[in-house]
Amino acid sequence: MGGFHLSYFQVSAVLAVLLITYLLSQLLLKISLILIEQQTLWIRYLRYWIPVVRILVWSFGIYACFYILSPPKEIFFAAATSVGVAVGLASQELIKNLFGSLIVWSDKLYQEGDRILINDVEGVVQSIGMRSTKVRAYNDTLVIIPNSLLLNAVVTNANLGESSTPVLTDFFLPINTDPQKAMECSRLAALSSDLIEPAKPVTILTCDILSGYIPLTRIRVKAYVRNAKYEKIFISDITKRAKKLFKKHNLYGNGGPFAQEEWLKNRAEGWPKNGVEEDEKGME
């Protein structure tokens, strides 16, 4: 054991291997971020395998370092035992994060470009690493979620690897609004948006609800945006177009919803029953 010495060549080679491994890992990460914009089938598979390739790259790099150093078995096992104990005591969270990343890959929970909800964090997945998942929230904040949270967290995935994602937009109009005309205007507003995914269906449903003591007609639009990261812009665009059409066709009425006296009169006649009458099958 006392005869083991490191040469200048060995130290230089190990540093070079670690640098190359790091650069390759970062290159794969950059490629993954670029491929978020590309949504063909084979690219989705490629993005799915990139986190695994990054783990393999680091595993090969560490193996290459041990191969270059070629320590005696006694030193290797003694060092491995010491490092194992130290890592086990000091890096429990790191090990949990690693298991979390393996769960993401094996269970296909999500991949780059998916719109997900984990606990109170909602946004678009930017990258999946061995330690954490980076999510771009809708306020453009980058949220870093430790993968260890995935061991017990409830994960909601809106698009499961597809580029398009469903979006719900609600409009509230006076109770005496013509529902057919309101639904037609809402559909036109969705279909005229440049961000809509034309290959997906647009669903419009209407129901009557209570907002405090005021009865309203709710129009719910379910449409698909081309890319999950444009979800909020898509909702804003549909809302702007729909309100313009509502105003054009005078669907807001004169002064908005029923006056209080008319509401009390309708309530005395038994409407609405149980507070709300609605049919929302298939919208959630």
Q: Are residues 5 and 107 in the same domain?
A: yes
Is the residue at 126 inside a domain?
Answer: yes
Is the residue at 270 inside a domain?
Answer: yes
CATH number (domain holding residue 255): 3.30.70.100
Q: Are residues 125 and 11 in the same domain?
A: yes
Structural contact between residues 167 and 121, judged by C-beta atoms closer than 8 angstroms: no
Kind and range of the H or E element at 180? helix 179-191
**DSSP letter, residue 228:** G
Q: What is the pLDDT of residue 30?
A: 78
Query: Using alpha carbons only, what angle is made at residue 121 by residues 118 and 126, rounded to the nearest 5 degrees?
Result: 85
Is the residue at 284 inside a domain?
Answer: no
203-252 pLDDT tens trace = 999 999 988 788 999 999 999 998 887 888 999 999 999 999 999 999 98
Q: Are residues 18 and 105 in the same domain?
A: yes
Range of the domain at 108: 1-162
23-39 pLDDT tens trace = 888 888 777 767 665 55
CA-based end-to-end distance of the chain: 67
Q: Are residues 139 and 6 in the same domain?
A: yes
Q: Are residues 104 and 201 in the same domain?
A: no
262 or 234, which is more confident?
234
Structural contact between residues 135 and 125, judged by C-beta atoms closer than 8 angstroms: yes
Average pLDDT over residues 177-183: 93
Is the residue at 282 inside a domain?
Answer: no
Identify any residues that bridge with 125 across adjacent strands, giving them in sequence order: 135
Kind and range of the H or E element at 221? strand 214-225
pLDDT-based confidence at 257, cuts 50/70/90? very low
Q: How many domains does the chain have?
A: 2
Q: Are residues 80 and 207 in the same domain?
A: no
The pair of three-digit structure tokens given for residue 77, joined into one six-digit string: 């096992």
Which of the listed residues 162, 195, 217 is the one where a domain comes to its end? 162
Kind and range of the H or E element at 116? strand 115-118
Which of the listed residues 136, 162, 188 is the one where a domain comes to its end? 162
Map residue 115 onto helix, strand or coil.
Answer: strand
Indicate if the pLDDT at residue 55 is higher than 70. Answer: yes
Q: Are residues 121 and 29 in the same domain?
A: yes
163-177 pLDDT tens trace = 788 999 999 999 888
Is the residue at 280 inside a domain?
Answer: no
Is the residue at 9 inside a domain?
Answer: yes
Q: Are residues 131 and 152 in the same domain?
A: yes
Q: Are residues 67 and 190 in the same domain?
A: no
Q: Are residues 125 and 185 in the same domain?
A: no
Q: What is the pLDDT of residue 281?
A: 41
